[in-house]
């Protein structure tokens, strides 16, 4: 019979725990990293609280993490002196799933059926990962607030959990992992030491393992590239970005002028927004001389770079800069501009040196670049150069850039022509293309729903105007076509007839030498929204 609990888990948590507990995911040790990272987060929050709050419980206690292993009792205990949790927070944080992405996670799990090992690896499950190794977890916690009470939260990871009061809690959290059969290795010092070695130096608080201090705080981003192995980069990324896989790109640089900067930026492997997991939060932390100023500053980089993770450290920031004043600081704006440029340069290099790897990046993250084109005027040209698309001169599935288009075009061609549509097939079966094809003019294809919006925001590329090939005002050279032409009189008659018949629906009818095979094409008048835009407007009821 199952035991009665004072609290039951939210349905989603039960589902998640079921997956975690029965998962064949082999990399069980990640739960240690999750718990240490939570301890480190809680300590970081405590450090910030101490700057603004006077009434802190046990205010003299050192900010640190203590880990103990007990082979006999088969337990692993992780203790921190961070902000801790009160009763309400225990219920909220360890009984529900606050992240909006969890539904998407669970759906993806179901989609993939039994082979869910991968998905755990891609998303991570935070605190609940403890139940991969534990059949019981106790969390003894007391909040930093002077008048709060201590509690013991306890669960077997099945249907629910209990919370009881205790007088014996210190500030912060003590998490006792009662290991399942077969998981006893996590109660041995050597095993835990091995796990901690990978990232404990990235934790900015002392870690003691069975009473011994084991880490020296290390700011990886301040070291020179040559001193860092790929594995160290990857571990740093996983630890600081709460990631479960290796990053796609690593960019590490330092500069002295015009600002002193040490930056370590990671481009993740996956774009979680593609999975419907909600908008990502900015994840590049701002440091000044190795001291954290803000873990998630939202003005440090443009919004469309919210997928980046990592650290930017600038000596030029005044150490006293507060999180509030940081947001408006001219210096931060300058950092923003400089780093964005550097990152785009980096992508240009990557695109050139490893085009296939870039194509994969583009498939997942191209949306952000397009968002940048529409919202960041100062980076537009660089971003436009990073766009990739099929065209009337590429094979299906092969892409080009505007630079390649310009190379292929005749020198005197002043415009870059493009069409937007639902797919390559849709564009090619329309009436607009033939006039351009017949004249040897290349037309770029843009087939994503956002593209119309993006192209509307992008007037030119390196002096060449970007022109939609369905615009009426485009002047194309006359070319010889087969068949006989209508005489002047006859064509005037036909025009009059069409204008009368269609008067409600069109602005005017003109004869033109533009078409090759099609008898007529509907063109967009100058300054009028084009077909896609009209469809969008119609769908909004306008």
Binding site for ligand ADP (CB under 6 A): 34, 38-39, 41-42, 80, 82-85, 93-94, 126-127, 173, 242
- Write the CA distances from 442 to 129, 371, 445, 469, 527, integer angstroms: 53, 25, 10, 10, 23
Task: In angstroms, give the least distance from the CB of 89 to ligand ADP.
Answer: 7
Specify the residue, 92 or 478, whose C-beta has the smaller distance to ligand ADP: 92
The answer to whether residue 215 forms part of the interface with Mg ion (CB under 5 A) is no
Task: In angstroms, give the least distance from the CB of 155 to ligand ADP.
Answer: 13
Specify the residue, 49 or 437, whose C-beta has the smaller distance to ligand ADP: 49
Stretch that binds Mg ion, among 36-44, 81-89, 312-320, 451-459 (CB under 5 A): 36-44
125 annotated binding-site participant? yes
148 annotated binding-site participant? no
The answer to whether residue 126 forms part of the interface with Mg ion (CB under 5 A) is yes
The answer to whether residue 38 forms part of the interface with Mg ion (CB under 5 A) is yes
Q: What is the CB neighbour count within 10 angstroms for residue 28?
A: 16
Specify the residue, 173 or 243, whose C-beta has the smaller distance to ligand ADP: 173
Q: In what order do the strands lie in the sheet with 443-446?
A: 390-391, 443-446, 415-420, 464-468, 460-461
Task: In angstroms, give the least distance from the CB of 38 to Mg ion.
Answer: 4
- How far apart are the C-alpha atoms of 505 and 499, rounded to whole Å? 9
Specify the residue, 127 or 346, whose C-beta has the smaller distance to Mg ion: 127
- Write the CA distances from 446 to 218, 388, 399, 434, 462, integer angstroms: 46, 9, 11, 17, 19
Burial class (CB in 10 A: 0-12, 13-18, 19+), 58: middle
Residues 6+ apart with CB under 8 A from 337: 378
Specify the residue, 243 or 387, whose C-beta has the smaller distance to ligand ADP: 243
Q: Are 172 and 44 within 8 A, CB to CB?
A: no
SS3 label, residue 488: helix
User: Cα 447 to the chain's mean position, in Å?
Assistant: 22
Element (H, E) at 134: strand 134-142
The answer to whether residue 172 forms part of the interface with Mg ion (CB under 5 A) is no
Specify the residue, 173 or 284, whose C-beta has the smaller distance to ligand ADP: 173
Q: What residue 42 binds from Mg ion, ligand ADP, none (CB within 5 to 8 A, per partner kind)?
A: ligand ADP
205 annotated binding-site participant? no
Q: What is the CB neighbour count within 10 angstroms for residue 399?
A: 19
Task: In angstroms, give the least distance from the CB of 427 to Mg ion.
Answer: 46
Residues 6+ apart with CB under 8 A from 92: 98
The answer to whether residue 283 forms part of the interface with Mg ion (CB under 5 A) is no
Q: What residue 29 binds from Mg ion, ligand ADP, none (CB within 5 to 8 A, per partner kind)?
A: none
Task: In angstroms, give the least distance from the CB of 212 to ligand ADP.
Answer: 21
The residue with tokens 């036909």 is 494
100 annotated binding-site participant? yes
Known binding residues are 34, 38, 80, 85, 93, 100-101, 122-127, 323
Known binding residues for ATP are 34, 38, 80, 85, 93, 100-101, 122-127, 323
Interface residues with Mg ion (CB under 5 A) are 38, 126
């Amino acid at each position: 019979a199952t035991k009665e609990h004072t609290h039951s888990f939210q349905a989603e948590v039960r589902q998640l725990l079921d997956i975690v507990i029965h998962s064949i995911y082999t990399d069980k040790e990640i739960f240690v990293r999750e718990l240490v990272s939570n301890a480190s987060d809680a300590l970081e929050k405590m450090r910030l609280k101490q700057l603004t709050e006077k009434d802190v419980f046990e205010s003299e206690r050192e900010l640190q993490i203590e880990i103990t292993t007990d082979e006999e009792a088969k337990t692993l205990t992780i203790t921190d002196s961070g902000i801790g949790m009160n009763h309400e927070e225990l219920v909220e944080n360890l009984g529900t799933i606050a992240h909006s992405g969890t539904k998407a996670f669970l759906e993806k799990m179901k989609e993939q059926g039994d082979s869910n090992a991968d998905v755990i690896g891609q998303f991570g499950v935070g605190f609940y990962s403890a139940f991969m190794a534990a059949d019981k977890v106790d969390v003894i916690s007391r909040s930093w607030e002077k008048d709060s009470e201590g509690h013991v939260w306890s669960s077997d990871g099945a249907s629910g959990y209990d919370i009881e009061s205790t007088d014996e809690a210190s500030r912060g959290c003590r998490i006792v992992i009662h290991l399942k059969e077969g998981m006893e290795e996590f109660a041995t010092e050597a095993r835990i030491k091995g796990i901690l070695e990978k990232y404990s130096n990235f934790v900015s608080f002392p870690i003691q393992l069975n009473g011994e201090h084991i880490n020296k705080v290390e700011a990886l981003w301040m070291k020179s590239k040559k001193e860092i192995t790929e594995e160290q980069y990857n571990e740093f990324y996983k630890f600081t970005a709460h990631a479960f896989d290796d990053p796609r790109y690593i960019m590490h640089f330092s500069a002295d002028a015009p600002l002193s900067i040490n930056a370590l930026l990671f481009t993740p492997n996956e774009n979680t927004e593609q999975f419907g997991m909600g908008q990502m939060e900015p994840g590049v932390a701002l440091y000044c001389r190795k001291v954290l100023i803000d873990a998630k500053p939202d003005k440090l980089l443009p919004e469309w770079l919210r997928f980046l993770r990592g650290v930017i450290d600038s000596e030029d920031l005044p150490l006293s800069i507060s999180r509030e004043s940081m947001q408006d600081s001219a210096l931060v704006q300058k950092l923003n501009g400089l780093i964005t440029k550097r990152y785009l340069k980096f992508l240009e290099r990557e695109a050139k040196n490893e085009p296939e790897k870039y194509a994969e990046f583009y498939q997942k993250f191209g949306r952000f670049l397009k968002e940048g084109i529409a919202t960041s005027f100062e980076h537009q040209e660089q971003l436009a150069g990073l766009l990739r698309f099929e065209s009337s001169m590429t094979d299906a599935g092969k892409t080009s850039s505007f630079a390649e288009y310009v190379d292929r075009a005749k020198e005197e061609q002043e415009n870059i022509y493009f069409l937007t549509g639902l797919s390559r097939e849709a564009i090619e079966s329309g009436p607009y293309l033939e006039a351009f094809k017949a004249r040897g003019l290349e037309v770029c294809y843009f087939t994503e729903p956002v593209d119309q919006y993006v192209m509307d925001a992008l007037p030119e590329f390196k002096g060449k105007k970007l022109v939609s090939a369905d615009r009426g005002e485009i002047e194309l050279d006359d070319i010889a076509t087969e068949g006989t032409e209508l005489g002047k009189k006859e064509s005037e008659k036909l025009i009059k007839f069409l204008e009368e018949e269609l008067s409600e629906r069109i602005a005017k009818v003109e004869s033109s030498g533009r078409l090759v095979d099609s008898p007529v094409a509907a063109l967009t008048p100058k300054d009028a929204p084009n077909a896609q835009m009209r469809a969008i407007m119609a769908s909004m009821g306008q």
